[in-house]
């Protein structure tokens, strides 16, 4: 394999696409310091799979991208493409199907780099093994840079051995052997893990068999449960269908009943309106009856007070009559005592004869008796007249009281009837309103 062409784009100072054609023979790059000669070698090493940014004289791997200048903006990517002549078909078998190999490495800022061989993505390890088989590479002694000869002279035996192996072209074999050893170790580790897994699986197999039997049983039971559920759902559907038919019939009956109740409600509303129109007159009559009853009660109370006063006056007259009767009896007794005293007075020294004295005594007694009897008859007549007037007044009062009580009883009867009718109408109205709310619900 021979390197025939190198293409750089955005790598360090090579901001524009730059192609370097390497002709057969010796190719040299000459220029002043800082013109980018070392960047060409670093581009080769970077494309061959260099992973250390320090060996590329960069702070980090993104520093290989052109960072901009006073006249040009910075780039976001860099790419290096190596064209190799593979006409002798010495490349590894994986990429030995073409005469020309294009090996590229592209890096995006803060996104990492990508390797490609003939436009196909590969690993960095594949690129490194390809160049190791060709006795070269990013860190091969074939790439001699400043100070490299001194490092070789002062190198340790192991490092010199590496130089000889690179010169002999066996570095790729060592890389493959190392990779194979790593794979073998990984395989051994995997075998140990597989044995552990087999041991764990063997312990789990019995549980899995039991679970498998349970799963089979579960499927059987689940099938029976599904069948039972299907039967249950079918029965529920049939019951729901029957309930739906019953509900439809009940709905029809309810609609008809609601229509009937609506008609009754309308009739009740009409009757209520009629009763409501009569209600003010009844209330007015009730008010008049109540006023009349109150007046009658007042009159009855007045008559009761008059009766009480009449009874008190009659009692007083009775007491005066008894007192007068006692006075008459006392006067009669005094008259008799006076007659006896006059008859027994032997010291009476009048010149008149005995017959005249007796006549005089008789006349005096008759005169006293007549005066007392006349006074008694006068008081008796007055008392009789007053009692007669009281009796007449009492009879008139009794008649008025009887009439008032009769009118009061009639008024109370009418009031009771009106109250009963009002209570019936109120109960009927409440019942109709309840029926309307029920039918509306």
- The pLDDT value recorded for residue 45 is 86
Contact 86, 1 (CB under 8 A): yes
Q: Is residue 375 part of a domain?
A: yes
234 falls within a domain: no
Bridge partner residues of 3 (DSSP): 84
Q: Rounded to 5, what percent of the chain is helix, strand, coil?
A: 70, 10, 20
Domain end call among 138, 157, 190: 138
Give the model's pLDDT for residue 91: 78
In a domain, 411, yes or no: yes
The residues facing 19 across adjacent strands are 7
- Other C-beta atoms closer than 10 Å to the C-beta of 117 total 20
Last residue of a domain, one of 109, 138, 167: 138
CA distance 185 to 196: 17
Total domains in the fold of the chain: 2
Any long-range contacts for 172-178 (C-beta under 8 Å, 24+ apart)?
172/129, 172/132, 172/133, 172/134, 174/132, 175/128, 175/129, 175/132, 176/129
Domain annotation covers residue 29: yes
Tokens of 220: 């059987």
Domain assignment present for 163: no
Taking alpha carbons only, the member of 327, 338, 344, 329 closest to residue 362 is: 338
Q: Is residue 177 part of a domain?
A: no
Tens of pLDDT, residue by residue, the chain (441 residues): 788 899 999 898 888 898 988 888 888 888 888 788 888 888 888 988 888 878 788 888 888 898 888 888 888 899 999 998 888 787 777 777 888 889 999 999 888 889 999 888 888 888 887 877 776 777 776 676 565 666 666 767 776 676 666 665 566 666 677 778 888 898 888 888 888 888 888 878 888 888 898 999 999 999 999 999 999 999 999 999 999 999 999 999 989 989 998 888 888 888 888 877 877 877 887 788 788 878 888 878 888 888 788 788 777 877 877 887 787 788 778 777 777 776 665 443 333 444 554 565 565 556 656 665 666 677 667 777 777 776 666 666 667 767 777 777 787 787 788 888 888 888 888 888 888 888 888
Which CATH number characterizes residue 343's domain? 1.10.287
Q: Where are the alpha helices (DSSP H) in 134-170?
A: 148-153, 157-168
Strand-pair partners of 108: 77, 112
Residue 381 lies in a domain: yes
Element (H, E) at 304: helix 171-343
Is 253 within a domain? no
How is residue 316 annotated by DSSP?
A: H
Domain end point (choices 138, 153, 173): 138
Listed residue (10, 36, 41, 13) closest to 108, CA to CA: 10
For the record, the structure tokens of 389 come out as 């007037």
Q: For residue 30, what is the domain's CATH number?
A: 3.40.50.300
């073998």: which residue's tokens?
Answer: 184
Does 290 lie in the same domain as 436? Answer: yes
Boundaries of domain holding 406: 274-440
Cα–chain-centroid distance for residue 375?
107
What integer pLDDT is reported at residue 438 of this predicted model? 86
């Amino acid at each position: 394999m021979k390197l025939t062409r190198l293409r750089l784009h955005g790598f360090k100072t090579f901001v524009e696409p730059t192609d370097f054609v390497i002709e057969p023979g010796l190719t040299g790059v000459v220029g002043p310091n800082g013109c980018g000669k070392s960047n060409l070698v670093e581009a080769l090493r970077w494309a061959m799979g260099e992973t250390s940014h320090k060996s590329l004289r960069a702070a980090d791997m993104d520093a290989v991208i052109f960072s901009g200048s006073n006249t040009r903006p910075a780039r976001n990517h860099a790419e290096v493409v190596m064209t190799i002549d593979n006409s002798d078909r010495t490349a590894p078998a994986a990429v030995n199907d073409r005469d020309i190999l294009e090996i590229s490495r592209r890096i995006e800022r803060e996104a990492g780099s990508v390797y490609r061989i003939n436009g196909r993505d590969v690993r960095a390890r594949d690129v490194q093994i390809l160049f190791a088989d060709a006795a070269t590479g990013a860190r091969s002694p074939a790439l001699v840079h400043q100070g490299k000869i001194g490092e070789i002279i002062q190198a340790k035996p192991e490092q010199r051995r590496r130089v000889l192996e690179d010169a002999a072209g066996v570095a790729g074999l060592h890389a493959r052997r190392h990779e194979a050893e790593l794979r073998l170790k990984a395989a051994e580790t995997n075998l140990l893990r597989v044995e552990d897994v087999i041991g764990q699986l063997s312990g789990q197999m019995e549980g899995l068999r039991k679970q498998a039997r349970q799963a089979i049983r579960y499927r059987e039971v689940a099938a029976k449960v599904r069948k039972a559920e299907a039967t249950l759902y079918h029965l529920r559907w049939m019951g729901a269908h029957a309930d739906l038919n019953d509900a439809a019939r009940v709905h029809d009956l309810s609609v008809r009943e609601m229509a009937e109740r609506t008609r009754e409600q309308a009739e009740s509303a009409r009757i209520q309106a009629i009763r409501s129109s009569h209600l003010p007159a009844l209330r007015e009559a009730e008010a008049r009856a109540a006023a009349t009853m109150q007046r009658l009660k007042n009159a009855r109370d007045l008559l009761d007070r008059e009766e009480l006063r009449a009874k008190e006056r009659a009692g007083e007259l009775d007491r005066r009559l008894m007192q007068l009767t006692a006075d008459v009896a006392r006067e009669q007794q005094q008259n008799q005592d006076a007659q006896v005293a006059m008859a027994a007075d032997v010291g009476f020294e009048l010149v008149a004869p005995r017959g005249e004295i007796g006549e005089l005594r008789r006349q005096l007694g008759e005169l006293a008796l007549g005066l007392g009897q006349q006074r008694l008859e006068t008081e008796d007549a007055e008392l009789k007249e007053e009692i007669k007037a009281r009796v007449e007044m009492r009879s008139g009062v009794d008649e008025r009281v009887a009439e008032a009580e009769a009118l009061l009883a009639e008024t109370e009867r009418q009031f009771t009837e009106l109250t009963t009718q009002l209570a019936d109408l109120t109960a009927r109205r409440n019942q109709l309103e309840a029926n309307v709310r029920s039918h509306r619900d």
